[in-house]
């Protein structure tokens, strides 16, 4: 074989190898595109399913109404499936968010703060407010002031949750000590809300710092009285009870879908505020769908009257809650800068001619 023949064969081999590689690359790209389609790649490559967490609690009324009345489904469009997952505790919802089991959830402020701290700001963002107010310390009729609390048993829904932090911080401000083991001047006992109602009714508890509707139930069904309304502790009486958070990775990959969710959220809040009676009924129907239980009309009316529904996240109260948790040794110091991503919400509000909202120093 002469040198010219050898050179021709080498060139043909090189061309054949290049063609083979190109063909393999083409197949790989096409397969990858097919996998994306099968995984739910929709318009613009975004997901075709949104998995939303919510709680069977009247403080989540915009979420309940948004699902019950089909508001979210309408805004997301026919090409996107809405899946909902109910939770009974904030830490469970945060864990599901961390694990990628849900994409967004309605949740209280302190679980969101804890999730931000645990992930060092990499797992989530707050994208809208939802509910303000509706939490207070209620006690037996014989307790008339702070001095009467010494030696008493006061319940909260969960150690480190929003109401637990609020109670411990307020007691500290009054000069009363607590600890996480139920000791101190006042025995603070983290107890599930359903058990709080029963324990208070039986006399095993002297009081509780709880959110609605448990607040109204203790007052109406068991004769409790309000010793301290939490709204009195915040400027203008406004503090965040529930807000909407999203998994950061999901937001980064699906900004259009998250904006549609926010459009549904804004519409749901508008419906609740413009149709309080119909909204309360819709929320109660969704409570039944989620938990099998509904609220009595009297409790439902009282709870709704004690809540404010707003897309404003009331950021100052979030920063305040974090500081309070630090002061009662339930949270290490945490930098909350960047926890808010309010740009998409403000685009929607601006387009609708509504006032924009602020992160009060956070990233918006």
Mark whether 204 and 275 lie in a shared domain.
Answer: no
Average of per-residue pLDDT across 121-128 = 97
In a domain, 1, yes or no: no
For residue range 9-36, list pLDDT tens digits in order.
Answer: 334 443 433 333 333 333 333 333 333 3
- Which domain CATH number covers 144? 3.40.190.10
For residue range 257-308, list pLDDT tens digits in order.
Answer: 999 999 999 999 999 999 999 999 999 999 999 999 999 999 999 999 999 9
Residue 317 has pLDDT above 80, yes or no: yes
- The span from the CA of 211 to the CA of 217, in Å, is 10
Q: If DSSP states are collapsed to H, E and C, what string results for 90-103? A: HHHHHHHHHCCCCC
Question: pLDDT band for position 44 (50/70/90)?
Answer: low
84 has which bridge partners? 52
Highest mean pLDDT among 41-50, 87-96, 256-265: 256-265
Mark whether 243 and 125 lie in a shared domain.
Answer: yes
Domain that holds residue 117: 49-134+238-351
Nearest to 299 by CA among 195, 209, 221, 200: 221
For 348, left (φ over 0), alpha (ψ -120 to 50), or beta?
alpha
Nearest to 93 by CA among 137, 68, 63: 63
Query: Using N-to-C axis directions, what is the helix angle for 109-118 and 162-173, rounded to 10°?
Result: 100
Mark whether 130 and 204 lie in a shared domain.
Answer: no
Residue 38 has pLDDT above 50, yes or no: no
Question: pLDDT band for position 8 (50/70/90)?
Answer: very low
- The span from the CA of 199 to the CA of 280, in Å, is 28
Mark whether 226 and 114 lie in a shared domain.
Answer: no
DSSP 232: G
Residue 5 has pLDDT above 60, yes or no: no
- Residue after which a domain boundary falls, among 236, 260, 280: 236
Residue 117 has pLDDT above 70, yes or no: yes
In a domain, 251, yes or no: yes
Query: Using N-to-C axis directions, what is the helix angle for 90-98 and 109-118, rounded to 10°?
Result: 40
Q: What is the mean pLDDT of the chain?
A: 88
Specify the pLDDT at position 351: 97
For residue range 193-245, list pLDDT tens digits in order.
Answer: 889 999 999 999 999 999 999 999 999 999 999 999 999 999 999 999 999 99
Mark whether 231 and 151 lie in a shared domain.
Answer: yes
Average of per-residue pLDDT across 104-108 = 97
Mark whether 249 and 117 lie in a shared domain.
Answer: yes
Mark whether 141 and 210 lie in a shared domain.
Answer: yes
Question: pLDDT band for position 1 (50/70/90)?
Answer: very low
Mark whether 127 and 250 lie in a shared domain.
Answer: yes
Average of per-residue pLDDT across 312-325 = 96
In a domain, 43, yes or no: no
- The span from the CA of 275 to the CA of 270, in Å, is 8
Nearest to 163 by CA among 361, 4, 321: 321
Residue 48 has pLDDT above 80, yes or no: yes
Specify the pLDDT at position 29: 33
Mark whether 226 and 143 lie in a shared domain.
Answer: yes
- Residue after which a domain boundary falls, among 236, 270, 290: 236
Residue-level length of the chain: 364
SS3 66: helix
Calculate the CA dihedral of residues 300, 306, 309, 310 and round it to 10 degrees.
-170
Nearest to 157 by CA among 241, 77, 219: 241
For 278-333, the DSSP string reads HHHHHHHHHHHHHHS----HHHHHHHHHTEEE-S---HHHHHHHHHHHHHTTSS--
Average of per-residue pLDDT across 68-72 = 98
For residue range 172-204, list pLDDT tens digits in order.
Answer: 999 999 999 999 999 999 999 889 999 999 999
- For residue 265, say if its preceding peptide bond is cis, omega within 30 degrees of 0: no
| pTM for the full predicted model | 0.84
CA-based R_g, the chain, Å: 26
As given in the structure block, the two tokens for residue 19 are 């063609």
- Residue after which a domain boundary falls, among 196, 214, 236: 236
Total domains present in the chain:
2
């Amino acid at each position: 074989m002469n040198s010219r023949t050898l050179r021709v064969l080498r060139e043909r081999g090189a061309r054949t190898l290049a063609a083979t590689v190109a063909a393999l690359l083409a197949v790989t790209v096409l397969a990858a595109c097919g996998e994306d389609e099968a995984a739910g790649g929709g318009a613009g490559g975004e997901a075709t399913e949104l998995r939303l967490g919510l709680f069977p609690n009247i403080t989540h009324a915009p979420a309940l109404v948004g699902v019950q009345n089909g508001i979210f489904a309408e805004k997301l469009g026919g090409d996107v499936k809405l899946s909902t997952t109910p939770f009974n505790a904030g830490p469970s919802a945060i864990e599901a968010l961390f694990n990628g089991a849900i994409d967004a959830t309605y949740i209280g402020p302190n679980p969101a703060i804890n999730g931000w701290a645990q992930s060092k700001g990499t797992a989530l963002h707050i994208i809208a407010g939802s509910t303000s107010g509706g939490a207070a310390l209620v006690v037996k009729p014989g307790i008339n002031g702070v001095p009467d609390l010494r030696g008493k048993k006061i319940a909260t829904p969960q150690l480190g949750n929003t109401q637990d932090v609020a109670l411990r911080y307020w007691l500290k401000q009054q000069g009363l000590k607590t600890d996480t083991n139920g000791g101190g001047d006042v025995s603070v006992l983290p107890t599930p809300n359903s058990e709080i109602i029963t324990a208070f009714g039986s006399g095993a508890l002297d009081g509780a710092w709880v959110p609605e509707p448990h607040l109204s139930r203790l007052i109406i069904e068991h004769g409790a009285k309000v010793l301290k309304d939490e709204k009195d502790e915040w400027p203008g009486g406004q503090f965040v009870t529930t807000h909407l958070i999203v998994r950061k990775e999901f937001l980064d990959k699906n900004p259009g879908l998250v904006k549609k969710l926010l459009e549904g959220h804004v519409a749901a809040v508008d419906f609740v505020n413009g149709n309080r009676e119909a909204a309360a009924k819709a929320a109660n129907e969704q409570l039944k769908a989620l938990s099998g239980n509904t609220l009595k009309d009297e409790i439902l009316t009282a709870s709704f009257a004690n809540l404010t529904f707003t897309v404003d996240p009331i950021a100052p109260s979030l920063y305040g809650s974090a500081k309070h948790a630090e002061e009662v040794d339930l949270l290490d110091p945490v930098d909350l800068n960047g926890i808010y991503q309010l740009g998409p919400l403000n685009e929607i509000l601006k387009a609708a001619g509504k006032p924009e909202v602020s992160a009060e120093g956070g990233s918006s």
